[in-house]
Amino acid sequence: MWKQEYKQELNAIGPNPEQMARLRWMVEQAKQGLPETREPTHYRPGRRAVATVVLCAALAVSALAAGPSLWQTLEAHLGPYAPFAREVEGTATGQGIRLELLSAVSDGYTARVYYTLTDQKGGRFNDHTRVHAWLKGTTLGGVALGSHVVSYDADSGTLLMETSVEGVDTSQPVELEVLEIDPAYYMLWDGRFEPVVPEKPLETETTAEGEVVLKAGQNPQTSPDTDVVSISSMGFDGEGNFHIRLTLAEGYSNDALLAVPYNAAGEQIGTTKAQTAVARGVDSLIEGITQADVADIAFIRVYGPYRGPEETIEGTWTLPVELKAAEQKIIQVGRTLADGFYVERIEVSGMNIAVFFRDGDKNWFPVWVTDRAGETAGVPLDYMNFNADTGLSCGIWSYETPIDLKNLTALTLLGETFPLD
């Protein structure tokens, strides 16, 4: 299998099977000229293979520790990437929201942009706010996208945020656009409930769409992990089907909550066959569970997003971002190497290695770098796309931590070693 071969060749340094499947899917989407679609796997939130750079930031927020300034917080977050950071400027204001650019980390085809959103009216942001934003630019045929909120300062009502992109030409104009700020987004990561399941069947009702669900309030229970979500009814219907009906507190609504039984070893029991919306909650039909399995259920785990009563702030806040790329070394190759891969060029920075190539016998290949101490290490494959206009793929291999470019002496791929001195 190609996944096993890759793991062997790179000596366990590289993308996991889910990531590799995601990369292959992106290449095939671009080759077939398919329109924007939702991906079959989750590699990074909001990733799309499209003609323009689109960044949908589903951003969960963590609390800002008291004391450090905004810049100290950002520097601590950047860690080893701090030497690559360059200050960027720009502000935009609307609906009492101030967008301000702070800093960016970039090389030729990747970028991380840091900025703040401040609620000038006060009281609208919280520690679970989600922001939808778009980062637009010139792509290489497909993009890999990511987002992360660094911190939230409740005293000033400020979100410190990071957006990132791979597969964009950072020498061309890039624009940040914020479209929606959503304080009503909540995420329950791990709500644990006792597995109280009666032997007798529970009463059911039929929805207007003809779905059979449990009636509410038959064996309710709460969890110390949440004061919003509770189990209203749990057990078997008259046909022997296992249900868990969840109810949310007044003013809250379900988004995509799941309720799943687990055994004492932490292994899931049964699978969710269907979910039906009910008043103030959701009824989950779990298949693969019989009365004989109930003794093995150690707890019920409830997790997923749900909605609160806060109002969404919609609008458009847009700023151009001037990116300054980190130092790069460019190796012009222009010939076919091992396994039938034609390599046009290789661009090496202290953060990533970008290889422009045409597919050979396989859709991947490992890359190694050697430092001045003579140590050779594999570099994990992070991103790949295909540009239908040029007929070239671009793969980006990213170091686990940044490297001083002056400390690298050679790069090896497809059976050849290229000096970097």
Residues 335, 317: one domain?
Answer: no
Same domain? For 163 and 196 the reply is: no
- Domains held by the chain: number: 3
Average pLDDT, stretch 12-38?
42
- Same domain for 362 and 389, yes or no, is yes
Task: Using the predicted structure, report yes or no on whether residue 374 has a pLDDT greater than 60.
Answer: yes
Regarding whether 278 and 338 lie in a shared domain, the answer is no
Q: What is the pLDDT of residue 360?
A: 63
- Give Rg (Cα) of the chain: 25
Q: Which two tokens stand for residue 38?
A: 């939702």
Structural domain includes residue 376:
yes
Q: Are residues 49 and 137 in the same domain?
A: yes
Q: What is the mean pLDDT of residues 237-258?
A: 96
For residue 137, the model assigns a pLDDT of 85
**Least confident interval from 3-17, 42-56, 147-161, 345-359:** 42-56
Mean pLDDT of 397-403: 93
Residue 7 included in any domain: no
Confidence of residue 138 (pLDDT cuts 50, 70, 90): confident
Same domain, 178 and 238: no
- Amino acid 382 reads D
Distance CA 267, CA 262 (A): 5
Residue 23 lies in a domain: no
* Domain-ending residue, one of 321, 353, 383: 321
Task: Give the pTM.
Answer: 0.74
Give the residue from 419, 410, 403, 407 showing the smallest Cα distance to 81. 403
**76 and 130, same domain (yes or no):** yes
Q: Which of 7-16, 161-170, 398-407 has the highest mean pLDDT?
A: 398-407
Higher pLDDT, 139 or 394: 394
Q: How many other β-carbons are positioned within 10 Å of the β-carbon of residue 419?
A: 11
Asked if the structure places residue 286 within a domain, the reply is yes
Given a cut of 50, is residue 5 above it in pLDDT?
Answer: no
Residues 152 and 289 in one domain: no
pLDDT tens-digit map of 301-338: 999 999 999 999 999 999 999 999 899 999 999 999 99
> Is 272 inside any structural domain?
yes
CATH assignment of the domain containing 379: 2.60.40.2320
Q: Are 143 and 48 in contact (CB under 8 A)?
A: yes
Both 105 and 169 in one domain: the answer is yes
Q: Could you tell me if residue 28 is inside a domain?
A: no
Angle in degrees, CA 23, 86, 66, rounded to 5: 95
Contacts of 174 (CB under 8 A, 6+ apart): 53, 111, 113, 135, 136, 137, 168, 320, 321, 323
- For the four alpha carbons of 105, 348, 413 and 143, in that order, the dihedral sign comes to positive
CATH number at residue 80: 2.60.40.1630
**Do 213 and 99 belong together in one domain?**
no
Is residue 36 one of the residues assigned to a domain?
Answer: no
Arithmetic mean of pLDDT over the chain? 83
Domain end point (choices 295, 321, 347): 321
**Going by C-beta distance under 8 Å and a sequence separation of 6 or more, which residues neighbour residue 343?**
333, 334, 335, 336, 337, 355, 356, 357, 413, 414
Neighbours of 85 (CB within 10 A): 18
228 and 79 in a single domain? The answer is no
Q: How confident is the model at residue 361 (pLDDT cuts 50, 70, 90)?
A: low
Calpha distance 388→370 (Å, rounded): 33
Q: Are 179 and 316 in the same domain? A: yes
Domain-located, residue 11: no
Q: Of 264, 287, 321, which one is at a domain's C-terminal end?
A: 321
Domain range holding 376? 328-419
Q: Which pLDDT value is given to residue 142?
A: 66
Which 3-state string (H, E, C) describes the chain? Answer: CHHHHHHHHCCCCCCCHHHHHHHHHHHHHHHCCCCCCCCCCCCCCCCCCCCECCCCCCCCCCECCCCCCHHHHHHHHHHHHHHHEEECCCEEEECCEEEEEEEEEECCCEEEEEEEEEECCCCCCCCCCEEEEEEECEEEEEEEEEEEEEEEECCCCEEEEEEEEEEECCCCCEEEEEEEEECCEEEEEEEEECCCCCCCCCCEEECCCCCEEECCCCCCEEECCEEEEEEEEEEECCCCCEEEEEEECCCCEECCCEEEEECCCCCECCEEEEEEEECCEEEEEEECCCHHHHHHCCEEEEEEEEECCCCCEEEEEEEEECCCCCCEEEEEEEEECHHHCEEEEEEEECCEEEEEEECCCCCCCCEEEEECCCCEEEECEEEEEEECCCCEEEEEEECCCCCCHHHEEEEEECCEEEECC
Closest CA to 184 of 309, 315, 56, 62: 309
